[in-house]
Amino acid sequence: MKSQHSSNDEDEHQLSRLGYCWWRSAAKFDECVRLKSDIPNIASLTPRVRVLRELERLALISHEGLNEVRYRLQMYRSGDFWVPTGGLKKKEMDIPPVITILLVGFSGSGKSSLVNLMYSVLGRSGLIPFAQTSSGCASKYTTMYMEEHNVMRSLQGGFCVYDSRGFSYGKIGDALEELSSWMSDGVHHNQLCLRSGDDVLLEDDAETAGLRPSSKFVQRTVNFSMVVVNIAEVYKALKASDSKPLEATRELFHSPALRNCNENPMLILTHGDLLTTEQRIDIRIRLCERLGISETNGVYDIVCLTEYGFLAEESDPVTAYAVTEAVFRALLISDRGHFPKKNLQDWAVFLFSWLMSLTGALFAFLADLCSKLGRRDKLKH
């Protein structure tokens, strides 16, 4: 009978042989291996070693952990991860019927491909691309409408994922303004994301645009956000001495509208497979350092589905588990951010405040009007 140790060695060798563990060829990996038999001081580890340890963690639990976490997501209902705080009961909390996770990022970051990956891993959809991507022959395609996705493909799913239109690095101010409106007003399926210069893009869609009954879809309040970043694009820009993508990503990530329960949004790194092992780790460390966040906590390096929809669970269990854990973590944070329901007293205070504001605005208008009339009389005399 084989020992458990030899069995683990065989599993690790198989993972490495099949290419799942791309980071095992990285510099300093031997140092990371030596730490397995020790309990190191995490604070004394270099960022590179911490990243390697995090990737090893995902590889270690990917096979057995995937089915367990996926089952918990299948059984999840909105508010299941809420923990009693402040002496309030769950029925007193304002918990939406569906938790909404919003994917945001710049054009070509891989948001739609990430949605397809979620369908493949969580909904077990197989080789079916549910969201159109901007890769391959559809390279000029861009998501013009908000798209709600039930990635679990369940009639009783407790959460949904929204694919949004990508922003432009050169128009970060407009991007933050549009993002703020999504977070404050909510989003709904088939919501048109219209921007200046879109007339040409809408010409081909003019006939079908009028057939979209977008106003009939339910307005969703965004509970959590994932910022999706094309690290291959950011790395190549930095190599060309162009820091615009990095700085624009920093502004987007730190937008006050994206913070939930005093937590940063989640950072999803895509297209890392287009870089070498060293480049992939280095840009992750550099990006997280510029964002001022941990390079291991709330950050996931995910290889998204191609336009042909290859099944990540069969070809890359580490990626499959990573995207599953990312969604699970998003729901945990979302359920911590619910507020108490408003009672009659709260509505009375709100109405009183609104009336006082309206009265103040009215008196300010009257004062301004009287001031102008007074100046006009002085000019006549």
The predicted pLDDT at position 299 comes to 97
State the Cα torsion 365-368-374-380 to the nearest 10°. -100
What is the Cβ-side half-sphere exposure of residue 311, based on CA atoms within 13 angstroms? 11
Contacts made by residues 8-15, CB under 8 angstroms, sequence distance 24+:
11/63, 12/59, 15/59, 15/318
Residue 1 has pLDDT above 60, yes or no: no
pLDDT digits 0-9 by tens, 205-259: 555 555 555 678 999 999 999 999 999 999 999 999 999 999 999 999 999 999 8
User: What span, in angstroms and rounded, lies between the C-alpha atoms of 325 and 323?
Assistant: 5
Distance CA 67, CA 120 (A): 14
Q: Where are the alpha helices (DSSP H) in the chain?
A: 4-17, 29-34, 47-75, 111-122, 172-185, 199-203, 206-209, 231-239, 244-253, 277-291, 312-315, 317-336, 344-380
Q: How far is CA 310 from the centre of its chain?
A: 22
User: Confidence class of residue 193 from pLDDT cuts 50, 70 and 90?
Assistant: confident
Q: Is 99 helix (H, G, I), strand (E, B) or coil?
A: strand
User: CA-CA distance, 127 to 139, in Å (whole number)?
Assistant: 20
- Say yes or no to pLDDT of 130 above 70: yes
How many CB atoms within 10 Å of residue 173? Answer: 9
Q: Which residues, 6 or more positions from 245, have their beta carbon under 8 angstroms from its beta carbon?
A: 106, 169, 233, 234, 237, 238
Task: Indicate if the pLDDT at residue 14 is higher than 60.
Answer: no
pLDDT single digits (tens) 293-318: 999 999 999 987 655 555 555 568 89
> Are 232 and 271 within 8 A, CB to CB?
yes
DSSP 8-state code for residue 34: H
What is the residue whose two structure tokens read 């198989």? Answer: 14
> How much is the pLDDT for 348?
66
Total residue count of the chain as it appears in this document:
381
Cα distances (Å, whole numbers) of residue 161 to 112, 128, 189, 280, 330: 11, 17, 11, 27, 11
Q: In this structure, what DSSP letter does residue 187 have?
A: B
- In degrees, rounded to 5, the angle at the alpha carbon of residue 375 between the alpha carbons of residues 372 and 379 is 140
Lowest mean pLDDT among 58-67, 194-203, 282-291, 332-341: 194-203
DSSP-based helix, strand, coil % in the chain, nearest 5: 55, 10, 35
pLDDT tens digits, residue range 327-372?
Answer: 999 999 999 988 888 766 655 666 767 778 878 887 787 777 777 7
Residue 239: CA count within 13 A, CB half-sphere: 10
Looking at the DSSP assignment, which residues form a beta bridge with residue 161?
A: 101, 149
Q: Are the beta carbons of 168 and 107 closer than 8 angstroms?
A: yes
Give the model's confidence band at 87: pLDDT under 50 very low, under 70 low, under 90 confident, else very high. Answer: confident
pTM: 0.81
Residue 139 pLDDT level (bands cut at 50, 70, 90): very low
How confident is the model over 93-126, as pLDDT tens digits? 899 999 999 999 999 999 998 998 999 899 887 6
